[in-house]
């Protein structure tokens, strides 16, 4: 499968990679960091987070599909590390003042965590004889 995959949340093409010698391909959105694997074709068929763009990436008109520029990707990384930093600060505050209930909660990145769990499950499934 060498088709382009689009993140249905951000409407951008996802970057893809695969381990050498592996038939499984992984796709990650440069904006929201959602990750999908070709093992879960269901995700693409149901368009639950990702969809296969019909034409191959190189053959399609670049103007029709918004691409993440290096600047966008850099900015997404800055936002991600800022979110991690805030989460750490929040954890520290909670550790220092357990009774401070007024601390503003920073939403945890639940979806990337789920994607990671899926990737781990995919690796485990692959190891089975
Ligand atoms: Zn996305």
- Which tens digit of pLDDT belongs to each residue from 86-100? 888 888 888 887 555
Question: From the CA of 32, how far away is ligand 1's center (Å)?
Answer: 4
Question: From the CA of 98, how far away is ligand 1's center (Å)?
Answer: 35
Given this model, what pLDDT does residue 79 score? 85
Given this model, what pLDDT does residue 104 score? 63
Question: From the CA of 100, how far away is ligand 1's center (Å)?
Answer: 34
**CA-wise closest residue to 11 among 27, 38, 29:** 29
Hey, what's the torsion of the CAs at 28, 40, 124, 29, to 10 degrees?
Answer: 10
Given this model, what pLDDT does residue 4 score? 84
Question: From the CA of 48, how far away is ligand 1's center (Å)?
Answer: 12
Question: From the CA of 93, how far away is ligand 1's center (Å)?
Answer: 31
Given this model, what pLDDT does residue 128 score? 60
Question: From the CA of 6, how far away is ligand 1's center (Å)?
Answer: 8
Given this model, what pLDDT does residue 32 score? 94
pLDDT < 50 stretches in the chain: 1, 59-60
Q: Could you give the residue ranges of the DSSP H alpha helices within 10-129?
A: 41-45, 70-96, 110-127
Beta pairing class for 12-13 and 35-37: unpaired
Look at the pTM and tell me if it is higher than 0.85.
Answer: no
Per-residue pLDDT tens over the stretch 67-80: 778 888 888 888 88
Question: From the CA of 108, how far away is ligand 1's center (Å)?
Answer: 16
Given this model, what pLDDT does residue 80 score? 86
């Amino acid at each position: 499968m060498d088709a382009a995959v689009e993140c249905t949340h951000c409407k951008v093409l996802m970057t893809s990679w695969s381990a050498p010698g592996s038939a499984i391909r992984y796709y990650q959105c440069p904006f929201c960091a959602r990750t999908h694997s070709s093992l879960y074709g269901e995700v693409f068929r149901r368009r639950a987070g990702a969809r296969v763009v019909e034409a191959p990436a190189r053959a399609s008109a670049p103007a029709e599909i918004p691409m993440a520029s290096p600047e966008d990707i850099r900015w997404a990384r800055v936002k991600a590390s800022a979110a991690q930093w805030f989460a750490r600060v929040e954890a520290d505050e909670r550790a220092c003042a357990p009774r401070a209930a007024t601390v503003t909660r920073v939403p945890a990145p639940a979806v990337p965590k789920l994607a990671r769990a899926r990737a781990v499950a995919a690796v485990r499934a692959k190891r089975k004889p």
